[in-house]
Structure 1
Protein backbone atom coordinates (compact mmCIF):
# COMPACT_ATOMS: atom_id res chain seq x y z
CA UNK A 1 0.00 0.00 0.00
CA UNK A 2 1.29 3.46 -0.89
CA UNK A 3 0.79 5.87 1.97
CA UNK A 4 0.64 9.64 1.90
CA UNK A 5 3.86 11.09 3.24
CA UNK A 6 3.31 14.12 5.40
CA UNK A 7 6.00 16.78 5.12
CA UNK A 8 8.23 16.98 8.17
CA UNK A 9 9.33 20.23 9.75
CA UNK A 10 12.51 20.38 7.70
CA UNK A 11 10.51 20.22 4.45
CA UNK A 12 8.37 23.23 5.16
CA UNK A 13 10.62 25.66 3.32
CA UNK A 14 12.47 25.56 0.06
CA UNK A 15 15.91 23.97 0.21
CA UNK A 16 18.83 26.39 0.72
CA UNK A 17 20.13 27.73 -2.57
CA UNK A 18 16.99 26.79 -4.51
CA UNK A 19 15.43 29.30 -6.89
CA UNK A 20 11.80 28.49 -6.22
CA UNK A 21 9.43 29.28 -9.07
CA UNK A 22 5.90 30.55 -8.74
CA UNK A 23 2.49 29.58 -10.06
CA UNK A 24 2.16 27.66 -13.30
CA UNK A 25 5.90 27.83 -14.01
CA UNK A 26 6.55 26.03 -10.73
CA UNK A 27 3.95 23.36 -11.50
CA UNK A 28 5.44 22.75 -14.95
CA UNK A 29 8.97 22.55 -13.53
CA UNK A 30 7.90 19.94 -10.95
CA UNK A 31 5.99 17.79 -13.41
CA UNK A 32 8.78 18.01 -16.00
CA UNK A 33 11.31 17.03 -13.34
CA UNK A 34 9.25 13.97 -12.44
CA UNK A 35 9.13 12.80 -16.05
CA UNK A 36 12.83 13.43 -16.58
CA UNK A 37 13.77 11.42 -13.51
CA UNK A 38 11.48 8.54 -14.43
CA UNK A 39 13.17 8.42 -17.80
CA UNK A 40 16.61 8.40 -16.18
CA UNK A 41 16.22 6.02 -13.23
CA UNK A 42 12.73 4.49 -13.44
CA UNK A 43 9.57 5.11 -11.44
CA UNK A 44 10.54 2.95 -8.49
CA UNK A 45 13.77 4.88 -7.78
CA UNK A 46 12.28 8.35 -8.10
CA UNK A 47 11.52 10.06 -4.79
CA UNK A 48 9.71 13.25 -3.88
CA UNK A 49 13.03 14.56 -2.58
CA UNK A 50 14.75 14.00 -5.92
CA UNK A 51 11.89 15.66 -7.81
CA UNK A 52 12.02 18.69 -5.51
CA UNK A 53 15.77 18.98 -5.94
CA UNK A 54 15.59 18.72 -9.74
CA UNK A 55 12.79 21.31 -9.94
CA UNK A 56 14.29 23.63 -7.28
CA UNK A 57 10.92 23.45 -5.56
CA UNK A 58 9.72 23.49 -1.98
CA UNK A 59 8.70 20.05 -0.77
CA UNK A 60 5.97 21.68 1.29
CA UNK A 61 4.45 23.00 -1.93
CA UNK A 62 4.68 19.59 -3.56
CA UNK A 63 3.12 17.69 -0.66
CA UNK A 64 0.31 20.24 -0.42
CA UNK A 65 -0.73 19.62 -4.02
CA UNK A 66 0.39 16.00 -4.47
CA UNK A 67 0.35 14.08 -1.16
CA UNK A 68 1.94 11.03 -2.82
CA UNK A 69 4.41 10.34 -5.59
CA UNK A 70 1.78 8.38 -7.49
CA UNK A 71 -0.53 11.41 -7.65
CA UNK A 72 2.26 13.65 -8.87
CA UNK A 73 3.41 11.19 -11.53
CA UNK A 74 -0.14 10.54 -12.72
CA UNK A 75 -0.69 14.25 -13.29
CA UNK A 76 2.67 14.56 -15.02
CA UNK A 77 1.73 11.76 -17.40
CA UNK A 78 -1.68 13.30 -18.08
CA UNK A 79 -0.27 16.73 -18.87
CA UNK A 80 2.49 15.26 -21.00
CA UNK A 81 0.03 13.24 -23.06
CA UNK A 82 -2.81 15.73 -23.33
CA UNK A 83 -1.83 19.23 -22.31
CA UNK A 84 -3.79 21.24 -19.79
CA UNK A 85 -6.91 21.62 -21.95
CA UNK A 86 -6.83 18.84 -24.51
CA UNK A 87 -8.99 19.35 -27.55
CA UNK A 88 -10.92 16.46 -29.04
CA UNK A 89 -9.99 16.19 -32.73
CA UNK A 90 -12.61 17.75 -35.04
CA UNK A 91 -12.05 16.61 -38.62
CA UNK A 92 -15.56 17.09 -39.96
CA UNK A 93 -16.65 13.44 -39.86
CA UNK A 94 -17.01 10.82 -37.16
CA UNK A 95 -14.62 8.52 -39.03
CA UNK A 96 -12.01 11.24 -39.22
CA UNK A 97 -12.41 12.07 -35.51
CA UNK A 98 -11.99 8.40 -34.60
CA UNK A 99 -8.88 8.05 -36.75
CA UNK A 100 -7.31 11.14 -35.15
CA UNK A 101 -8.21 9.93 -31.66
CA UNK A 102 -6.80 6.45 -32.27
CA UNK A 103 -3.54 8.03 -33.49
CA UNK A 104 -3.36 10.17 -30.33
CA UNK A 105 -3.90 7.15 -28.08
CA UNK A 106 -1.16 5.25 -29.91
CA UNK A 107 1.27 8.14 -29.37
CA UNK A 108 0.40 8.28 -25.67
CA UNK A 109 1.11 4.58 -25.23
CA UNK A 110 4.59 4.73 -26.74
CA UNK A 111 5.60 8.11 -25.32
CA UNK A 112 7.69 9.45 -28.18
CA UNK A 113 8.91 12.40 -26.10
CA UNK A 114 8.74 11.09 -22.54
CA UNK A 115 7.73 8.15 -20.35
CA UNK A 116 5.10 5.89 -21.88
CA UNK A 117 2.29 3.93 -20.29
CA UNK A 118 3.79 0.77 -21.75
CA UNK A 119 7.14 1.63 -20.20
CA UNK A 120 5.48 2.08 -16.82
CA UNK A 121 3.53 -1.17 -16.94
CA UNK A 122 5.42 -2.79 -14.05
CA UNK A 123 5.02 0.29 -11.87
CA UNK A 124 1.32 0.45 -12.68
CA UNK A 125 0.96 -3.24 -11.87
CA UNK A 126 2.83 -3.05 -8.57
CA UNK A 127 1.73 0.38 -7.28
CA UNK A 128 -1.99 0.27 -6.53
CA UNK A 129 -2.23 4.03 -6.05
CA UNK A 130 -0.53 4.81 -9.35
CA UNK A 131 -2.73 2.21 -11.06
CA UNK A 132 -5.88 3.80 -9.68
CA UNK A 133 -4.86 7.32 -10.67
CA UNK A 134 -3.79 6.38 -14.19
CA UNK A 135 -6.82 4.15 -14.78
CA UNK A 136 -9.18 6.88 -13.62
CA UNK A 137 -7.55 9.48 -15.86
CA UNK A 138 -7.50 7.21 -18.91
CA UNK A 139 -11.15 6.23 -18.56
CA UNK A 140 -12.32 9.77 -17.83
CA UNK A 141 -10.50 11.10 -20.90
CA UNK A 142 -11.66 8.24 -23.14
CA UNK A 143 -15.28 8.70 -22.11
CA UNK A 144 -15.10 12.46 -22.61
CA UNK A 145 -13.68 11.98 -26.10
CA UNK A 146 -16.28 9.37 -27.02
CA UNK A 147 -19.17 11.55 -25.90
CA UNK A 148 -17.86 14.59 -27.75
CA UNK A 149 -17.21 12.69 -30.98
CA UNK A 150 -20.75 11.34 -30.93
CA UNK A 151 -22.30 14.71 -30.05
CA UNK A 152 -20.50 16.34 -32.96
CA UNK A 153 -21.56 13.57 -35.32
CA UNK A 154 -25.18 14.00 -34.28
CA UNK A 155 -24.97 17.76 -34.81
CA UNK A 156 -23.73 17.08 -38.37
CA UNK A 157 -26.69 14.82 -39.00
CA UNK A 158 -24.82 11.53 -38.78
CA UNK A 159 -26.76 8.57 -37.36
CA UNK A 160 -25.00 7.49 -34.19
CA UNK A 161 -25.37 5.05 -31.31
CA UNK A 162 -24.34 7.70 -28.76
CA UNK A 163 -25.09 5.36 -25.85
CA UNK A 164 -22.15 3.21 -26.95
CA UNK A 165 -19.61 6.05 -26.92
CA UNK A 166 -17.87 5.25 -23.64
CA UNK A 167 -17.70 1.51 -24.24
CA UNK A 168 -16.35 1.95 -27.77
CA UNK A 169 -13.56 4.27 -26.64
CA UNK A 170 -12.66 1.88 -23.82
CA UNK A 171 -12.43 -0.85 -26.44
CA UNK A 172 -10.19 1.32 -28.63
CA UNK A 173 -7.77 2.01 -25.79
CA UNK A 174 -7.64 -1.61 -24.67
CA UNK A 175 -7.05 -2.87 -28.22
CA UNK A 176 -4.25 -0.37 -28.84
CA UNK A 177 -2.65 -1.06 -25.46
CA UNK A 178 -2.61 -4.81 -26.02
CA UNK A 179 -1.32 -4.50 -29.59
CA UNK A 180 1.46 -2.13 -28.53
CA UNK A 181 2.47 -4.35 -25.61
CA UNK A 182 2.65 -7.54 -27.66
CA UNK A 183 4.19 -6.02 -30.81
CA UNK A 184 6.70 -3.78 -29.05
CA UNK A 185 5.64 -0.78 -31.15
CA UNK A 186 2.55 1.26 -31.79
CA UNK A 187 0.17 -0.12 -34.43
CA UNK A 188 0.80 1.06 -37.98
CA UNK A 189 -1.49 3.60 -39.61
CA UNK A 190 -2.98 0.77 -41.63
CA UNK A 191 -3.85 -1.18 -38.49
CA UNK A 192 -5.25 1.94 -36.88
CA UNK A 193 -7.51 2.48 -39.90
CA UNK A 194 -8.59 -1.15 -39.74
CA UNK A 195 -9.53 -0.75 -36.07
CA UNK A 196 -11.66 2.28 -36.89
CA UNK A 197 -13.28 0.94 -40.06
CA UNK A 198 -13.86 -2.66 -38.99
CA UNK A 199 -14.76 -2.19 -35.31
CA UNK A 200 -15.24 1.31 -33.91
CA UNK A 201 -17.19 2.97 -36.72
CA UNK A 202 -19.64 0.06 -37.21
CA UNK A 203 -20.32 -0.04 -33.47
CA UNK A 204 -21.11 3.68 -33.34
CA UNK A 205 -22.99 4.05 -36.61
CA UNK A 206 -26.76 3.56 -36.34
CA UNK A 207 -28.17 0.85 -38.54
CA UNK A 208 -25.10 -1.35 -38.10
Structure 2
Protein backbone atom coordinates (compact mmCIF):
# COMPACT_ATOMS: atom_id res chain seq x y z
CA UNK A 1 0.00 0.00 0.00
CA UNK A 2 1.31 3.45 -0.88
CA UNK A 3 2.11 5.77 1.96
CA UNK A 4 -0.29 8.47 0.75
CA UNK A 5 -3.35 6.18 0.76
CA UNK A 6 -5.91 6.51 3.51
CA UNK A 7 -6.38 3.83 6.20
CA UNK A 8 -8.66 1.00 5.10
CA UNK A 9 -11.82 2.27 6.78
CA UNK A 10 -11.49 5.70 5.22
CA UNK A 11 -10.58 4.17 1.88
CA UNK A 12 -13.72 2.02 1.93
CA UNK A 13 -15.88 5.03 2.81
CA UNK A 14 -14.36 6.95 -0.10
CA UNK A 15 -15.05 4.06 -2.44
CA UNK A 16 -18.67 3.92 -1.31
CA UNK A 17 -18.97 7.67 -1.88
CA UNK A 18 -17.63 7.31 -5.42
CA UNK A 19 -19.95 4.40 -6.24
CA UNK A 20 -22.91 6.24 -4.72
CA UNK A 21 -22.14 9.38 -6.73
CA UNK A 22 -21.88 7.24 -9.86
CA UNK A 23 -25.34 5.74 -9.34
CA UNK A 24 -26.86 9.13 -8.57
CA UNK A 25 -25.48 10.70 -11.74
CA UNK A 26 -26.37 7.65 -13.79
CA UNK A 27 -30.00 8.03 -12.72
CA UNK A 28 -29.98 11.81 -13.20
CA UNK A 29 -28.25 12.29 -16.55
CA UNK A 30 -27.70 8.81 -18.02
CA UNK A 31 -24.52 7.01 -18.98
CA UNK A 32 -23.67 9.05 -22.09
CA UNK A 33 -23.85 12.45 -20.38
CA UNK A 34 -22.11 11.37 -17.19
CA UNK A 35 -18.42 12.26 -16.89
CA UNK A 36 -15.63 11.20 -14.59
CA UNK A 37 -15.18 14.88 -13.68
CA UNK A 38 -18.79 15.09 -12.51
CA UNK A 39 -18.42 11.89 -10.49
CA UNK A 40 -15.30 13.24 -8.79
CA UNK A 41 -17.06 16.49 -7.90
CA UNK A 42 -20.17 14.72 -6.59
CA UNK A 43 -18.10 12.27 -4.52
CA UNK A 44 -15.65 14.97 -3.36
CA UNK A 45 -12.80 12.77 -4.58
CA UNK A 46 -9.85 13.39 -6.83
CA UNK A 47 -9.88 11.92 -10.32
CA UNK A 48 -6.54 10.28 -9.57
CA UNK A 49 -8.19 8.41 -6.68
CA UNK A 50 -10.93 7.16 -8.99
CA UNK A 51 -8.53 6.05 -11.71
CA UNK A 52 -6.42 4.16 -9.17
CA UNK A 53 -9.40 1.86 -8.62
CA UNK A 54 -11.17 1.82 -11.98
CA UNK A 55 -9.77 2.03 -15.50
CA UNK A 56 -12.59 4.21 -16.81
CA UNK A 57 -16.26 5.12 -16.76
CA UNK A 58 -17.53 1.76 -18.01
CA UNK A 59 -15.80 -0.27 -15.31
CA UNK A 60 -16.83 2.21 -12.62
CA UNK A 61 -20.49 2.16 -13.66
CA UNK A 62 -20.66 -1.62 -13.82
CA UNK A 63 -19.04 -1.89 -10.38
CA UNK A 64 -21.56 0.58 -8.96
CA UNK A 65 -24.52 -1.29 -10.43
CA UNK A 66 -23.19 -4.64 -9.20
CA UNK A 67 -22.51 -3.31 -5.71
CA UNK A 68 -25.98 -1.79 -5.46
CA UNK A 69 -27.70 -5.01 -6.47
CA UNK A 70 -25.32 -7.42 -4.75
CA UNK A 71 -25.17 -9.31 -8.06
CA UNK A 72 -22.02 -11.32 -7.46
CA UNK A 73 -23.57 -14.44 -6.00
CA UNK A 74 -21.72 -16.69 -3.64
CA UNK A 75 -21.79 -20.35 -4.59
CA UNK A 76 -24.59 -22.04 -2.67
CA UNK A 77 -24.42 -25.35 -0.86
CA UNK A 78 -25.38 -28.42 -2.87
CA UNK A 79 -29.00 -29.35 -2.05
CA UNK A 80 -28.46 -32.75 -3.70
CA UNK A 81 -31.05 -32.17 -6.42
CA UNK A 82 -30.85 -30.25 -9.70
CA UNK A 83 -34.34 -28.79 -9.43
CA UNK A 84 -33.69 -27.29 -5.99
CA UNK A 85 -30.25 -26.13 -7.08
CA UNK A 86 -31.72 -24.24 -10.05
CA UNK A 87 -34.44 -22.70 -7.89
CA UNK A 88 -31.87 -21.47 -5.37
CA UNK A 89 -29.78 -19.88 -8.11
CA UNK A 90 -32.81 -18.20 -9.68
CA UNK A 91 -33.91 -16.80 -6.31
CA UNK A 92 -30.48 -15.23 -5.82
CA UNK A 93 -30.63 -13.74 -9.33
CA UNK A 94 -34.13 -12.41 -8.62
CA UNK A 95 -32.88 -10.60 -5.53
CA UNK A 96 -30.21 -8.90 -7.60
CA UNK A 97 -32.66 -7.87 -10.32
CA UNK A 98 -35.33 -6.55 -7.99
CA UNK A 99 -32.73 -4.35 -6.27
CA UNK A 100 -31.99 -2.66 -9.59
CA UNK A 101 -33.40 0.64 -10.81
CA UNK A 102 -35.21 -0.19 -14.06
CA UNK A 103 -34.42 3.16 -15.68
CA UNK A 104 -30.72 2.86 -14.90
CA UNK A 105 -30.44 -0.70 -16.18
CA UNK A 106 -32.44 -0.07 -19.35
CA UNK A 107 -30.36 3.06 -19.98
CA UNK A 108 -27.21 0.95 -19.73
CA UNK A 109 -28.61 -1.56 -22.21
CA UNK A 110 -29.33 1.28 -24.65
CA UNK A 111 -25.88 2.82 -24.23
CA UNK A 112 -24.25 -0.55 -24.94
CA UNK A 113 -25.40 -0.32 -28.56
CA UNK A 114 -23.07 2.58 -29.33
CA UNK A 115 -20.39 2.31 -26.62
CA UNK A 116 -18.18 -0.71 -27.27
CA UNK A 117 -16.18 -0.27 -24.06
CA UNK A 118 -19.36 -0.35 -21.99
CA UNK A 119 -20.73 -3.31 -23.95
CA UNK A 120 -17.51 -5.25 -23.46
CA UNK A 121 -17.42 -4.51 -19.73
CA UNK A 122 -21.06 -5.41 -19.18
CA UNK A 123 -20.60 -8.68 -21.07
CA UNK A 124 -17.46 -9.56 -19.14
CA UNK A 125 -18.71 -8.62 -15.69
CA UNK A 126 -22.48 -8.87 -15.52
CA UNK A 127 -23.54 -11.30 -18.22
CA UNK A 128 -20.66 -13.74 -17.77
CA UNK A 129 -21.24 -13.69 -14.00
CA UNK A 130 -24.76 -15.00 -14.57
CA UNK A 131 -23.49 -17.72 -16.89
CA UNK A 132 -20.89 -18.77 -14.37
CA UNK A 133 -23.50 -18.88 -11.62
CA UNK A 134 -25.02 -21.94 -13.30
CA UNK A 135 -21.74 -23.80 -13.85
CA UNK A 136 -21.49 -25.32 -10.33
CA UNK A 137 -25.18 -26.30 -10.54
CA UNK A 138 -24.67 -28.18 -13.80
CA UNK A 139 -21.37 -29.70 -12.66
CA UNK A 140 -23.10 -31.18 -9.63
CA UNK A 141 -26.00 -32.48 -11.74
CA UNK A 142 -23.60 -34.10 -14.22
CA UNK A 143 -21.76 -35.80 -11.34
CA UNK A 144 -25.09 -37.16 -10.03
CA UNK A 145 -26.06 -38.39 -13.51
CA UNK A 146 -29.06 -36.05 -13.73
CA UNK A 147 -28.05 -34.33 -16.98
CA UNK A 148 -25.72 -35.16 -19.88
CA UNK A 149 -22.18 -33.82 -19.67
CA UNK A 150 -22.72 -31.87 -22.90
CA UNK A 151 -25.75 -29.91 -21.65
CA UNK A 152 -26.07 -26.47 -23.25
CA UNK A 153 -24.88 -24.25 -20.40
CA UNK A 154 -24.79 -21.06 -22.43
CA UNK A 155 -28.38 -21.49 -23.62
CA UNK A 156 -29.54 -22.22 -20.07
CA UNK A 157 -28.00 -19.03 -18.69
CA UNK A 158 -29.24 -16.92 -21.59
CA UNK A 159 -32.83 -18.19 -21.41
CA UNK A 160 -33.02 -17.92 -17.61
CA UNK A 161 -31.53 -14.41 -17.53
CA UNK A 162 -33.75 -13.18 -20.36
CA UNK A 163 -36.94 -14.47 -18.78
CA UNK A 164 -36.11 -12.96 -15.38
CA UNK A 165 -35.17 -9.65 -17.00
CA UNK A 166 -38.40 -9.60 -19.00
CA UNK A 167 -40.51 -10.16 -15.90
CA UNK A 168 -38.61 -7.60 -13.85
CA UNK A 169 -38.42 -4.76 -16.38
CA UNK A 170 -40.65 -5.38 -19.39
CA UNK A 171 -43.93 -7.17 -18.63
CA UNK A 172 -44.24 -6.18 -14.93
CA UNK A 173 -45.77 -9.60 -14.26
CA UNK A 174 -45.01 -11.27 -10.91
CA UNK A 175 -41.46 -12.51 -10.45
CA UNK A 176 -42.59 -14.85 -7.70
CA UNK A 177 -41.77 -18.39 -6.63
CA UNK A 178 -44.58 -19.77 -8.79
CA UNK A 179 -42.97 -18.26 -11.87
CA UNK A 180 -39.51 -19.52 -10.90
CA UNK A 181 -40.92 -23.02 -10.37
CA UNK A 182 -42.61 -22.99 -13.79
CA UNK A 183 -39.41 -21.68 -15.37
CA UNK A 184 -37.43 -24.56 -13.89
CA UNK A 185 -39.97 -27.33 -14.54
CA UNK A 186 -41.21 -26.29 -17.98
CA UNK A 187 -38.13 -24.68 -19.52
CA UNK A 188 -34.79 -25.23 -17.82
CA UNK A 189 -34.99 -28.90 -16.87
CA UNK A 190 -36.19 -29.97 -20.35
CA UNK A 191 -33.54 -27.76 -21.95
CA UNK A 192 -30.83 -29.56 -19.98
CA UNK A 193 -32.16 -33.00 -20.87
CA UNK A 194 -32.88 -33.71 -17.21
CA UNK A 195 -32.88 -37.38 -16.28
CA UNK A 196 -34.93 -38.55 -13.31
CA UNK A 197 -35.26 -42.20 -12.41
CA UNK A 198 -35.38 -44.27 -15.58
CA UNK A 199 -36.43 -41.36 -17.78
- Shorter chain as denominator, the TM-score bin is 0.7 to 0.9
- The farther-off stretch of 85-94 and 143-152 is 85-94
TM-score where L is the length of structure 1: 0.72
1:133-148 → structure 2 map (5 Å cutoff): 133-148=121-136
CA distance in 2, matches of 1:34, 1:58: 14
1:17-166 → structure 2 map (5 Å cutoff): 22-82=10-70, 86-90=73-77, 92=79, 93-112=81-100, 116-154=104-142, 157=144, 159-164=146-151, 165-166=153-154
TM-score where L is the length of structure 2: 0.75
Deviation readout 1:151-207 (Å, 9 max, x if unpaired): 33456x352234323331122112323444431456343222211111112233237
Shift of 1:53: 1.8
Task: Provide the alpha-carbon RMSD of the alignment.
Answer: 2.9
Q: Per the alignment, in what secondary structure is the counterpart of residue 86 of structure 1?
A: coil
| Residue segments in structure 1 that go unaligned for 5+ positions in a row | 1-20
- The farther-off stretch of 194-203 and 35-44 is 35-44
| Residue segments in structure 2 that go unaligned for 5+ positions in a row | 1-8
CA distance in 1, matches of 2:75, 2:195: 22
Q: Which has the higher helix share?
A: 2
Do the aligned residues in 1 keep the contact of 2:31 with 2:108 (CA within 8 Å)?
yes
Q: Per the alignment, in what secondary structure is the counterpart of residue 160 of structure 1?
A: coil
